[in-house]
Structure 1
Amino acid sequence: MPELKRPEITFGTDGWRGIIAEDFTGASVRLVAQAVVNFLKRADTPGAPTIYVGYDNRSQSEYFAAEAAKVAAASGLRTILSSAACSSPAVSYNSYAGDARGAIMITASHNPPQFNGLKIKMGYGGSALPSMVTQIEQELSALLDAGVYAVDVPASAMDLVHKTDLRPAYFDGLRKVVDLDAIGASGYKIVVDSMHGSGAGYLPSILQQTNAQITEIRGDRNPVFGGVNPEPIPQNLGALRDAVLAAKADVGVAIDGDADRVGAMDSHGNFVDSHRIFAIALRHLYENKGLRGSVVKTVSTTRLIDKLCAKYGLELRVVPIGFKNICEWMLKEQVLIGGEESGGIGVLGHIPERDGPLMSLILLESMAVRHQRLEEQIDELMAEFGPHEYNRVDLHPNPARMPAIIRTLKEDNPTEIAGQQVASIDRTDGTKFDFADGSWLLLRASGTEPVVRVYSESSSQENVARLIEGGVQIVENA
C-alpha cells in the first residue's frame, strides 16, 4: 500500500473549506470530525454528550455528513443527523434547543460549487469561538503527530445515528422573534430567492398560515447553483431582480447557499446591501419593537450604524471580520443586533448566530409595521444621516506576491490616497484608512487563499470608485 501523506487542513474565518475530491474528501472529513469530537468529549465542554450534524445542497454533502456522523457515533456521542438538507442556522438552533455539546454543518456556504466545507457550531447555538477553534486545531495536530492520517469507522456505525427533521424546532424558534401575522396582513407581495440552497422552502413554509403573498424562485436543488455562486450580491441576483419586476412585487429577499446570509431587492429591482439591511433592522428593533442592547459590527461595515447608535445612545463594538467575533460579544452581554458586511446578521431573542431567513422576516416585519417599502425606509435614513455608498472588489494576485502584499499592508503608512489625506490608520483586521470626511478604505489579505479584498464607503459612488482604485494601486505596487 502507498504511504499515507500528512493532509494539509487549514481553518479559516468559519471552519474549514476545500475543493471536493482534491483536499475535501471522505477521509479528510472523518479526520476533522474526529478532532471536533475529541474536543466536544472533553469534560469541561458543557451540554449533554450529543452532537447534531447537518448538510447543505452541494454535491456529495449528504455523504460527507454521514461520514462525520459515523465518526461521532463510533466515538460514543449521541449523534443526530438531519434527515434532509438543512440550513446552518437550523443546525445551530437545534444544537442549542437540544442542549447538545455542539454540531457539525457540512457546507461551503456561498463559495463556488467545486468547494465544500465543515462548520463547527457549539451548544449555545453559534459558531465555535476563536479560542475553541484553536483547541480543535490542537486536537487535529495531535492526531496527525501521532500518525493518524486516516480515521476508519465501520459502516455499522450508521446504525447508531438518529435521523430527524431539524426544521420544525427551528421554525418554532423564528416564530418567537417575529410577528408573522403582521407580515401576512400587510398585503405586500414578496419574492424569495433561495439560490438553490438548503434554505429552500423555509420562508414559504413559515409564512404559509398567514396568507402572505409569497413566491419562491430557485428553490430546487442544483449542485452548481445555476452557474452563479450562491452569494446574495448583485451579480448573482439577476433572477431575483427579474422576478420582482415581472411580478410587480413590493420586495425581494435572497438567502445564500446555507441560508445564514441575506440580501434584498426593493420594488424597483434595486439591490439592497447588507449595510442598509443592518441599518433598517437596527432602527426597527429599537423604534418599533422597543428592544435594547449593545450593537456589534465588523470593521468592514457601514458608518451608518455608528450614527444610529449615537442617536439611540447604544454601545457600539467594532470587531474583526467573522461572525464568530460577533458571537463572542453575544455570549458576554445583551446584544441588540450584530452584523457584518457579507450579509450575516443576528438579533436579540434568538441564538447568537447569523440567520438569513430570520433577517428576511425582520425586513418584512419592518415593512409591515412601518407601512413602508425598503426604498422608502432607505430614503428616510439617507435624508437623516446623509448618503452612504459602498463597494467591495476582490483581487486575485499571483500567490507568490502575497507575502510582499501582506508586508506592505502591515508596514506602509501612506499619508494620501486617491487625492485624499489619510486621517488615521486602523489595523484591527487588515488595514483601514480613515479620511476626514468620514470616508474609509479597507485592504484585507486573506490568510488562507491568494485574495485581497478592497472595501470602501463614502458619500458618493464616484468617490468610492476613486478610493477603491487607490487601494488597488497599493496592492499592485506592493
Structure 2
Amino acid sequence: MTKKYFGTDGIRGLVGKAPITPEFALKLGWAAGKVFGANGKGKVLIGKDTRISGYMLETALEAGLIASGVDAGLLGPMPTPAIAYLTKTFRADAGIVISASHNPYYDNGIKFFSKDGTKLPDEIEFQIEALLEQEITCVSSDQLGKAFRINDAAGRYIEFCKSRFAPDSLNGMTIVVDSANGATYHIAPEVFSELGANVIPIFNKPNGININEKCGATHTEELRKQVLEHKADVGIALDGDGDRIIMVDENGIEVDGDELVYIVARHALTQGKLNGGVVGTLMSNLGLEVALKKLSIPFKRANVGDRYVMQLLKENNWSIGGEGSGHVINLEHIPTGDGVVSGIQVLAAMVETGMSLSELKSGMEKYPQKLINVRYADNKAPLNVEEVKQAIADAEQELGEDGRILIRKSGTEPLIRVMTEGKDADLIVSVAEKVAQKVREFA
C-alpha cells in the first residue's frame, strides 16, 4: 500500500500548489482531528517555524481540527523538537509542525508527532490519508472544538533545554549562535545565555522570507567568520526548524553531524552512559565507522532520514545516532533530533573534559567525500535509465575496495544526490562528476 501524501518526513510542497494549499490544510486538519479525536474530544497542538506561509496554514489546520470537534492549542513559532516535547508534556493527542526545515521560505510542510512525541506510525498516516479522500462533515455547533494559545510554550521549552546541563556551566565561554532566522530565534540564544555563556546571536531576526537564506546549518560561512572575529570558543548553526545542528570550532572549521555524533558517543562512553552502539546512515562518513570501531562501539547504518535512524535505534534498544547533515539523536534526552539539546551535549563534553571542540573531534579522521545534487523534472526518472545504471556500475568498479558510491533521491526536494567517498580525493571527485553529468543528461 502506497501513501499518496505522506513522505518520509511528513507532507512537503511548494505553497499554493498541490498538496500544500489552504484547502488541503483545512481538510488535513479535519482528517487528523477525526483520527486523533476518535475516542472522545481530543486536543492537538500546532507549532510552526517563521516562514510567512505558516500563518495561513496554521489557520487552515486550526479550522479543520475545530470542525472535527477537536481542540487546537496554538504554540506559535517553535522548534520542531519543542513541539514533540510539548505534545507529551501537555498530554495532547498529537502535535503538528508547520515547517519545511532547511528549505527556502516558499516551501512548506506539515508533519505530525504522536502523543509520546514520536513520529506517527504508518497505520495512523494511512487512516488520515483515507479520510483525505472524503468530504468534510462538520460536527454540530455544540460539539465544535476550541482554539487556545499556549503563551508559556517558549519558556517551558527553554527550561527543559537548560535542565540538560548544570546551571552556570558555560560561564566564561563565548558562543556565536546562528538561528537561521528560523524557529529557534527566540530560544537558542536564551538557552545558552541563561547557562552562563556570552552569546553573540546572528540571523535571529525573521521576517517571514529570510529563513535559511544564506545562513543556518546549510550555510555556515558567516558563522565561521564571526567565530574568528570574536575569538569565540565555538559557533552553533541551527536550521529553520531547529532539529539540525552544525558547529564551528575555535579555528573557524565546520564540525558536521557525523563528527558531533562521534563526540557525543565517545563522551557517553567515557561517562559510562553509552547504551549499546551508534546508528548512522548510508551517507555517514566512513571515518565515523572506523573511529567508533577503535573504541569498540558497535555501528549500524540505516537508510537516509532521521525517521530510519530512529527506527534502527529502537530496534536495537540504543540511544545515539544521527546524520552528517546535522540530525543528532540521543533518546536519553528527547525522542527526536534536537539541535539545541545536541549542542548542549557537545558543550558538556567540552566543559567536562577541558578540551576544545577541535581537540574533541580529532579522534575521528574523515574520509574525503564528494556530494553533487542534480535537480530533475517531475516527469523524469533518471535512475531508471540504462545509461545511468551503467555509469554507476562503472563508478563502483573504478573506486574499488577503497571507496564507495551512493545514489539516492532526496526525501524533501526533486534532487538526485550523488555521493562518492574514498581515500583518493581526486578520484572520488572525478567519479562523482562523471556520474552526475550522466544523471543530468536524463534529468
Task: Compute the TM-score of the two structures, normalised by the length of structure 1.
Answer: 0.82
Distance in 2 (CA, whole Å) between partners of 1:456 and 1:131 is 36
Preserved CA contact (<8 Å) 1:338 1:346: yes
**AA matched with 1:465:** V
Q: How many Å separate the matches in 2 of 1:126 and 1:409?
A: 41
1:298 paired to 2:281: yes
Work out the number of aligned pairs and report it: 438
Match of 2:37 in 1: 41
For structure 2, which runs of at least 5 residues remain unmatched after alignment? none
Change (3 A) 1:476 1:85: closer
Distance apart, 1:331 and its partner CA:
4.3
Task: Provide Cα deviations, 1:61-112, integer angstroms capped at 9, x if missing partner.
Answer: 1332132123223323332111x31111110001122232211111111111
* Change in 2 beyond 3 A, CA 1:209/1:25: same
Q: 2:332 aligns with which of 335, 349, 373?
A: 349
Could you tell me whether the CA contact under 8 Å between 2:101 and 2:240 is conserved in 1?
yes
Give 2:421's aligned residue.
457
Report the CA distance between 1:229 and its aligned residue: 5.7
Relative distance call for 1:67 and 1:476 in structure 2 (3 A) is closer
The Cα shift of 1:399 comes to 4.1
Is residue 2:376 matched to residue 1:390?
Answer: no
Q: Which one of 101, 104, 127 corresponds to residue 96 of structure 2? A: 104
One of 30, 34, 50 as aligned partner of 1:57: 50
Partner of 2:25: 29
Partner Cα separation in structure 2 for residue 68 and residue 205 of structure 1: 30
- 2:156 maps to 169
Cα distance in 2 for residues equivalent to 1:157 and 1:65: 21
1:405–1:475 CA contact under 8 A, matched in 2: yes
Q: Shift of the alpha carbon at 1:246?
A: 1.4
Q: 1:113 aligns with which of 92, 95, 105?
A: 105
* Amino acid paired to 1:10: Y
2:389 equivalent to 1:406: no
Match of 2:244 in 1: 261
Change (3 A) 1:312 1:123: farther
CA contact (8 A) 1:129 1:327 kept: no
Unaligned segments of structure 1, at least 5 residues: 1-7, 422-434
In the alignment, the residues of structure 2 paired with residue 330 and residue 227 of structure 1 have an alpha-carbon distance, to the nearest angstrom, of: 29
Change (3 A) 1:20 1:188: same
Distance 1:74 1:470, change over 3 A: same
Separation in structure 2 between the aligned mates of residue 81 and residue 188 of structure 1, nearest angstrom = 35
Q: 1:41-190 alignment to 2 at 5 Å?
A: 41-42=37-38, 49-82=42-75, 84-141=76-133, 143=134, 148=135, 160-164=146-150, 165-179=152-166, 181-182=168-169, 184-185=170-171, 187-190=172-175
Find the aligned partners of 1:123 and 1:48 in 2 and give their Cα distance.
Answer: 14
What is the letter of the counterpart of residue 223 of structure 2? L
For the 8 Å contact 1:81–1:162, the answer to whether it is kept is yes
* SS of match in other structure, 1:286: helix
Aligned partners of 2:203 and 2:215 also within 8 Å = no
Residue 212 (structure 1) shift: 1.1
**SS of equivalent to 1:367:** helix
Summarize the Cα distance change of 1:332–1:379 in structure 2 as closer, same or farther, 3 Å threshold: closer
| Partner SS for 2:370 | strand
Q: Deviations over 1:141-169 (max 9, x none)?
A: 4x2xxxx2x68899999981121132233
CA distance in 2, matches of 1:167, 1:129: 27
CA distance in 2, matches of 1:406, 1:155: 53
CA distance in 2: counterparts of 1:408 and 1:126, whole angstroms: 40
TM, length-normalised to structure 2:
0.88
After TM superposition, the structure 1 = structure 2 runs for residues 322-341 of structure 1, keeping only pairs within 5 Å, are: 322-332=305-315, 334-341=317-324
After alignment, is 257-266 or 310-319 more displaced? 310-319
The root-mean-square deviation of aligned C-alpha atoms, in Å, is: 3.1
Alignment partner of 1:76: what SS?
coil
Identity of aligned residues (%): 25
Match of 1:53, SS? strand
Offset of 1:404 from its aligned partner?
4.1
Counterparts of 2:404 and 2:165 in 1: how far apart (Å)? 34
Structure 2 counterpart of 1:68, one-letter code: L
Q: Is the 8 A contact 2:28 2:64 kept in 1?
A: no
What SS does the corresponding residue of 1:455 show, helix, strand or coil?
Answer: strand
Partner amino acid for 1:85?
A: P
Map of 1:274 onto structure 2: 257
SS at match of 2:262: helix
Shift of 1:299: 1.4
Deviation at 1:254, TM superposition (A): 0.5
Structure 2 CA distance for partners of 1:254 and 1:319, relative to 1, 3 Å: same
- String of CA shifts for 1:398-433, please: whole Å, max 9, x gaps: 444x32423549965965428725xxxxxxxxxxxx
**Residues 90, 313 of structure 1: alpha-carbon distance in 2 compared, 3 angstrom cutoff:** same
Structure 2 distance, partners of 1:295, 1:283, is 10
Change in Cα spacing, 1:16 to 1:156, as seen in structure 2 (3 Å) is farther
Q: Give the secondary structure class of the aligned counterpart of 2:77.
A: coil
CA deviation digits over 1:300-331, x for unaligned, max 9?
Answer: 11223323443444443322122122233444
Give 1:436 shift.
Answer: 1.2
Give the SS at the match of 1:11. Answer: coil
CA contact (8 A) 1:230 1:257 kept: no
